[in-house]
Amino acid sequence: MLKFKIMKGHFRVMLLLPFVPFLFMQGYSQTRGISKNKIIINADMGRNIISKDIYGQFAEDLGHCIYGGIWVGPDSPIPNTRGIRNDVLQALQALNIPVLRWPGGCFADTYHWKDGIGKPSKRPSIININWGGVTEDNSFGTHEFMDLCTQLGCDAYITGNLGSGTVREMAEWIEYLTSDAKSPMTELRKKNGREHPWKVKFWGLGNESWGCGGNMTPEYYADVMRRYATYCKNFGENKLVKIASGPSDEDYNWTETLMRNPKNRWMMQGLSLHYYTLMDDWGHKGSATDFGEKEWFKTLKATLKMNEIISRHSTIMDKYDPEKRIGLYVDEWGDWFNVEPGTNPGFLYQQNTLRDAVVAAINLNIFNNHCDRVKMANIAQMVNVLQAMILTKGDQMVRTPSYYVYKMYKVHQNATLLPLHITCENYSYGNEKVPSISASASMDSTGMIHISIVNLNPNKAVDVICEIRGLRISDVNGEILTSENINDFNHLGQEEKVLPRKFNEATLKEGVLHIMVPSKSVIMLQLKKRS
């Protein structure tokens, strides 16, 4: 038996002999066999910039995202800077957040901004009709949001109320925020303690206008959108990027209707897209923590659909806007599971496991690879809601696995996308399969290359050969995010266990990168160009 095996091995070597010079040429001589998994990166063919805004966040006035999670008020015993809690702020600062969307979401089309300015004790309250029916005191309003953006060092993306607010209300909000001229609005701002106008970069023309934002048809919305957009003026140096409320999921008719009419195209610089990852459907969202491989697979399969959805909406946009003037703004996306048992169903508070980290990494790779059209993405939501970066309870705070993906991936912000081609084995579950590898690559302004790779397979490490064409590499370093179990998460009040660690399984041999990507992991490699 042994003899036969040796002979069989010998025979294989003989068969490979004619190819040996070729294998050496390709730098394959040192591999552990020829891998089925290969990534080819054309490092000299980068054309498009990965907008930093793809790494944006979304903070809605919902549950404990703002109240309790970010805003505790200046008199709170929780250490804060002008009412914004310091622990959360510090953690978020490490992500280099480029842009923050507020106040909603569905909340935006019920929000009347004048209720959120002036002395906090004098502000009228509001019933949050979409989220739990709770009464809020409006202590977090325009000034507090703009201060949060300043403290985070990010751009503001404000969604105006097009559903239940007036054109005048929206126009006056912009004037209050951004004008330097003498007017009742600017006088009011000054009276409320802000002398100079703020810079507001992004302006949303309603939210989900096909649903909670007014239940409109695309034709009707287009007319209303143009009317509101007409009065959203640029004051002084401030130039608004106006984003129309776009489709959800596979509603290609919405995109077609908005894009077809040149008058619509003229009024907007962006079209939003919402796609949430649901394990099954809205009736069967599943637990965020109590799941097995079946639910892991279904979630990853559902999240991969983002690629198809973006491609199809982009195809429609390309037809009417081939020069890609209008960006696709994926301003809501992420995992949506059942709320944690015992919490208010309207507060959308869910745990965040290694599965969420893998979902975040796959989607960020998709957005990077579509950066010619996708100009912004905002994960839902920043704190305590849906796929959050941070979870809090009283004065405690924990960073989620998704947080760490954002920390690892921030190197892609404003870098040049490097086109890549992946050939890989499938990860199968039952009769279904998905590719086991997701990846994207970029080169930053210093010439450093970053490659992010995800192994979707929870059972098997994947041996990947990565060929970098067009330049020579001298050095490789890496970080990995993984954990023992697919549903591991970081517990409040305990040492965090799902967090990035040094990754040593990437080696450079004769110009080719060999990477053993562990099961269920996200890795980020940093490669130095040879000078």
Smallest distance from ligand AHR to CB 386, Å = 6
Q: Which 8-state DSSP code applies to residue 312?
A: H
- Of the candidates 136, 172, 175, 332, the residue annotated as catalytic is 332
Instruction: Work out which of 53, 332, 463, 488 binds ligand AHR, going by CB under 6 A.
Output: 332
Binding mask 220-259 for ligand AHR (x = CB under 6 A): ----------------------------------------
Would you give the distance in Å from CA 191 to the centre of its chain? 37
Nearer to ligand AHR, 359 or 415 (CB): 359
Instruction: Work out which of 83, 105, 163, 458 binds ligand AHR, going by CB under 6 A.
Output: 105
Nearer to ligand AHR, 144 or 208 (CB): 208
Q: Which residues of 277-315 are buried (b: 16+ CB within 10 A; e: fewer)?
A: bbbeeeeebbbbbebeeebbbbbbbbbbebbebbeebbe
Task: For residue 208, indicate whether it is catalytic.
Answer: yes
Q: Which residue is nearest to ligand AHR (CB)?
A: 105
Residues 167-226 that bind ligand AHR (CB under 6 A): 207-208
Nearer to ligand AHR, 60 or 463 (CB): 60
Question: Residue 321 phi/psi, 5° resolution?
Answer: -140, 65
Peptide bond into 26 cis (omega under 30): no
Contact 336, 277 (CB under 8 A): yes
- Of the candidates 136, 172, 208, 479, the residue annotated as catalytic is 208
In angstroms, rounded to a whole number, what is the distance separating the alpha carbons of residues 280 and 220?
A: 31
Instruction: Work out which of 91, 200, 380, 462 binds ligand AHR, going by CB under 6 A.
Output: 380
Smallest distance from ligand AHR to CB 74, Å = 28
69 binds ligand AHR (CB under 6 A): no
Q: Which helix (H) or strand (E) holds 134?
A: none
Binding mask 47-66 for ligand AHR (x = CB under 6 A): -------------x------
Nearer to ligand AHR, 299 or 483 (CB): 299
Smallest distance from ligand AHR to CB 394, Å = 24
In angstroms, rounded to a whole number, what is the distance separating the alpha carbons of residues 144 and 153?
A: 14
Strands 390-393 and 396-399: antiparallel
The first and second tokens of residue 185, run together, are: 């609005």
Closest of 352, 282, 274, 340 to residue 106, by C-alpha = 274
Smallest distance from ligand AHR to CB 13, Å = 58
Question: Residue 519 phi/psi, 5° resolution?
Answer: -55, 155
Smallest distance from ligand AHR to CB 62, Å = 6
Closest of 215, 82, 61, 56 to residue 137, by C-alpha = 61
In angstroms, rounded to a whole number, what is the distance separating the alpha carbons of residues 102 and 385?
A: 13
The first and second tokens of residue 195, run together, are: 């002398």
Contact 277, 217 (CB under 8 A): no
Active-site positions? 208, 332
Residues near ligand AHR (CB under 6 A):
60, 104-106, 207-208, 332, 380-381, 386
